[in-house]
Amino acid sequence: MHNLYIGGRWVHSSSGETFESFNPATKKPIGAFQQGNAADARHGIDAAEDAQKKWADTPAPSRAKILFNIRDLLIKDKERLGRLVTTEMGKILKEGLGDVQEAVDIFEYMAGEGRRLFGHTVPSELPDKFAMTTRLPIGVVSVITPWNFPIAVPAWKTAAALICGNSIVWKPSSDTPMCAVELVKIFEKAGMPKGVVNLVTGPGSPVGEELVTSKKVGGISFTGHRDTGEDILRKAGIKRVGLELGGKNGIIVMDDADLNLAVDGIIWGAYGTSGQRCTAASRVIAHEKIAGKLEKLLLAKIGKIKVGDGLRKGMDMGPLVNEGAVKKCEKYIEIGKNEGAKLAYGGKRLKNNGHFFSPTLFTKVAPDMRIAREEIFGPVLSLITVKNMDDAIDAINSVDYGLSSSIYTKDMKKAFRAVREIEAGLTYVNSSTTGSEAHLPFGGVKGTGNGVREAGITGIDEFSSVKTVYFDYSGRLQRAQIDAD
């Protein structure tokens, strides 16, 4: 039995109820967890509020020492945690280890911010007056995280929030609570003061509802479904809200592209993590001159993808996270066929004990089809053919989302045009749509989010408040814009 973590103690939920987490490759339970409720969420918020001021008053370089401790413990425990990610979420072991490595990288980066947390000094328009900005914490932050990166995404959010001096109440996905419990144990072992980090497992309602609506919460950071993000915005009131709400990412392949390189990037982008990344490539937009050849190359590669338990050697793709994800893919296969797209490969549940679905390719897809516009979040790829660069830009921008994008071309003019005109927060040139690095901003435009960027220096912006400070040492009243020369 795994408990909630509130105020530095592992405690039972006041609900008296529990739920189980399952291995998606075997459907076997891996642990029982407390089913938190609104009262538990309030308890966590109160504990975070009590601890926050002392944590904020701790010098940032001292806060950083604990983050460095977390980094070191993650490195020491990387193999075990990577296997846990694979066991609970399903991605193959190499990707599970990569999930943990991403957490290592972001804690190292954000710990470094403990000696920066930059403000600005600027000249005043008046004499004998000094002007500057400084950063302050928001206060209590609610962190609500998804299941697909159960160590990395929480690390993005918590590392930045903590170095800025905030306290946290974290609600992880109920599909991956074991990863959350193990990460909090590392925080505890690293020396995190009691109450600074609190963990409440349980359903979005009522736990998430309380974390969003509480007046004691100063900020919310959420990664997940767009409908949930929109609901958070309606209910949060006046507080800081950061949203990352998915994508429908495209790869443009022009007629001058290195097709073998493009195929490698497409396969990784579409079928890595079984397509369960917000940056997954779900659309390929191919120039008509090379579309036929590209299709043949893709089919040859897709046919060699080995699907199975991610802990087994030689697997290329693991299961989907749960039965609902499988049924969603099945639904979109029927939608695609009914729309007139050609099912060129896959499109079916695999007969075994887990939640496995075949890597799937649709061809003869039009940009306005639902399979080309709506987020499926599975290993389903649509191939769209276009006549020229203008059509390619129109096609890639035709969706409501704007997270990641890619173009394969040897023409630098086309590459820079793609960077300028594609409506996305990330654009890769001659690389896939996945592969964000910890020291660069991550986030999107349009329906993907509300402008917040995580990781990099902008990760600090999400979790800090900028205060402008004036020192007037003139000894007389000076009025800006009135007395200035």
Residues acting as catalytic residues: 244, 278
Sequence-separated (6 or more) residues with CB below 8 Å from residue 206: 37, 38, 41
Helix (H) or strand (E) holding 261: helix 259-271
How far apart, in whole angstroms, are the C-alpha atoms of residue 243 and residue 101? 23
Q: Are 94 and 272 in contact (CB under 8 A)?
A: no
Q: Are 329 and 357 in contact (CB under 8 A)?
A: yes
Q: Are 22 and 174 in contact (CB under 8 A)?
A: no
Q: Are 55 and 165 in contact (CB under 8 A)?
A: yes
The C-alpha angle with vertex 276 and arms to 213 and 405, in degrees rounded to 5, equals: 95
What dihedral angle (degrees, nearest 10) is formed by the CA atoms of 255, 258, 263, 268? -120
SS3 call for 448: coil
Q: Are 372 and 394 in contact (CB under 8 A)?
A: no
Q: In the Cβ-directed half-sphere of 227, how many Cα atoms lie within 13 Å?
A: 3
Sequence-separated (6 or more) residues with CB below 8 Å from residue 30: 20, 21, 22, 23, 87, 88, 178
The neighbour count for residue 347, using CB atoms within 10 Å, is 20
Q: Which two tokens stand for residue 428?
A: 């890769």
How far apart, in whole angstroms, are the C-alpha atoms of residue 321 and residue 318? 9
How far apart, in whole angstroms, are the C-alpha atoms of residue 244 and residue 223? 5
Sequence-separated (6 or more) residues with CB below 8 Å from residue 365: 283, 336, 341, 371, 372, 382, 383, 384
| Positive or negative torsion for Cα 432, 435, 437, 440 | positive
Q: Supply the DSSP string of 384-402, one letter for each residue.
A: EEESSHHHHHHHHTSSSEE
How far apart, in whole angstroms, are the C-alpha atoms of residue 3 and residue 17? 11
How far apart, in whole angstroms, are the C-alpha atoms of residue 126 and residue 133? 17
Strand partners, 468: 133
